[in-house]
Every structure is written in structure tokens, then in C-alpha cells.
Amino acid sequence: MDNKALYKIGYGLYVITASLNGKDNGMICNTVCQVASDPLLISVSINKANYSLDMIKQSGKMNVHSISEVAPFELFKRFGFVSGRDVDKFEHDMMVRTPNGLPLVTTYTNAAISLKVKEYIDLGSHGLFLCEVEDAQVFNNNETMSYSYYQSNVKPKIKKEEKKKGYVCKICGYVYEGDELPDDFICPICKHPASDFEKIN
Ligand code: FE
């Protein structure tokens, strides 16, 4: 079996926002999909390690924003590489909210959809939310960023002249210098596990 076939599945990238008991949070995922048209249903799969999962489970709602191709790496650092357990990802923002009370992210995105959770399915590593659409708006006509666009154009590249021996994080581009990457290694930038690293050279 060639596991690389899985990398050929196309994904978009999304900012998900959630609120619970006065606390707001945002995260990045690549797993938003319209799965039915009548009734209109959207599925969102979220890793259980994400703080937002519990917030969405308890509140029963989330906003989904498609990230556009103009988004810089900073957007991914802000929402994707730190946990809402440790920082408030919205503290410096002029907060705009949708009628459901959740944060609206209009910078570097092209549309927002407010979702109401209909069903939660435990998938092991992830939880799957099956959702109805409560509201939707388009901000602009910029292209939605695909995961492969992020990999090719947004994630920092290792410069050839400073190409080191070691392992590179496929998510954020962090380089671990050394002959062996420990199995329990966690990327210090994006917190992804050793399985998301690949050998360089
Ligand atoms: Fe990383």
C-alpha cells in the first residue's frame, strides 16, 4: 500500500471559531465538507487534541471561514500553532460577531458559514460534527487556499544553502537537526508529532 496516495486527496483550509462561557477560540482545519444538499449538511472533523472540540460539543455551534490564497503564514501561526488553552487568540482584535454570538474572521478569508451541530460522531482520534447551515456570507472572490497551495507557497521553505541534515516538519517547516528523530518528538512550533516529520537529504 502506498500511503502517499492519501496526500493526493485535495483539501481546503479553514478557520473555525467557537465560544463557550464567555471564552472565544479559533483553530485551523482542512476537513470542512458539504456532504448533502437536501437537507443542506456540512461535516467538520476535528482532532480531539484541539481545545475547540469540547467548546463546539458543549455549545453546539461553530463558524467556518474559508481561508483565501492571500493569507500569510502568520495567520496559521496565530490560529494553528498555539492552543486556546494557553493564549487568547482574539485579545487584540476589534471583535466582530455573527448573530449566533461567535467570532467572525474577515481578514485573509473569503466567506463565513455559521453552523449548528446536528450530530456528533466519535471517530477515535477525531470527532465528526454533522451540521446544519444557519447563516452564510461571502466577503470577496479571492481563491480559497488549498492544502497543497499552503505547502508550496505559504509554509516557510528551507533555503538550499542552509540545508541541514535532519528532519523537517511537513506542517510548518521547522527543521530538527540530528541523525535520529525521537519517536515522541513534538514540533516546538506547530505541536505536531514525529509522524508529521520527514527526513531531509
Ligand atoms: Fe511543525
Q: Which amino acid is at 118?
A: K
> Quick one: pLDDT at residue 59?
98
Distance 29 CA to ligand 1 centre (A): 15
CA dist., res. 155 & res. 73, Å (int) = 6
| 3-class secondary-structure state, position 140 | coil
Picking from 27-31, 41-45, 138-142, 161-165, which range would have the lowest pLDDT averaged per residue? 161-165
Alpha carbon of 81 to ligand 1 centroid (Å): 8
Which cell goes with 43?
461535516
pTM: 0.88
Mean pLDDT of the chain: 92
Distance in Å, CA 117 to ligand 1 centroid: 30
Residue 100 CA to residue 13 CA, distance in Å, equals 22
Query: Cβ(184)–Cβ(194) under 8 Å?
Result: yes
State the Cα–Cα distance between residues 173 and 156, nearest whole angstrom. 6
CA of 168 to the centre of ligand 1 (A): 8
pLDDT of 119 reads 98
Spatial separation of the C-alpha atoms in residues 4 and 126, rounded to whole Å: 21
113-137 residue pLDDT tens:
999 999 999 999 999 999 999 999 9
Rounded distance from Cα 186 to ligand 1 centre (Å): 8
- pLDDT tens for 27-67 read 999 999 999 999 999 999 999 989 999 999 999 999 999 99
What is the predicted pLDDT for the residue at 88?
A: 86
Alpha helices in the chain (DSSP H): 51-59, 73-80, 147-149
Q: What is the pLDDT of residues 99-113, one digit of tens each?
A: 999 999 999 999 999
Name the region of 60 (left: φ>0; alpha: ψ -120 to 50; beta: rest).
Answer: left
- Cβ atoms 32, 12 nearer than 8 A: yes
Comparing CA positions, the residue from 57, 122, 141 lying closest to residue 16 is 57
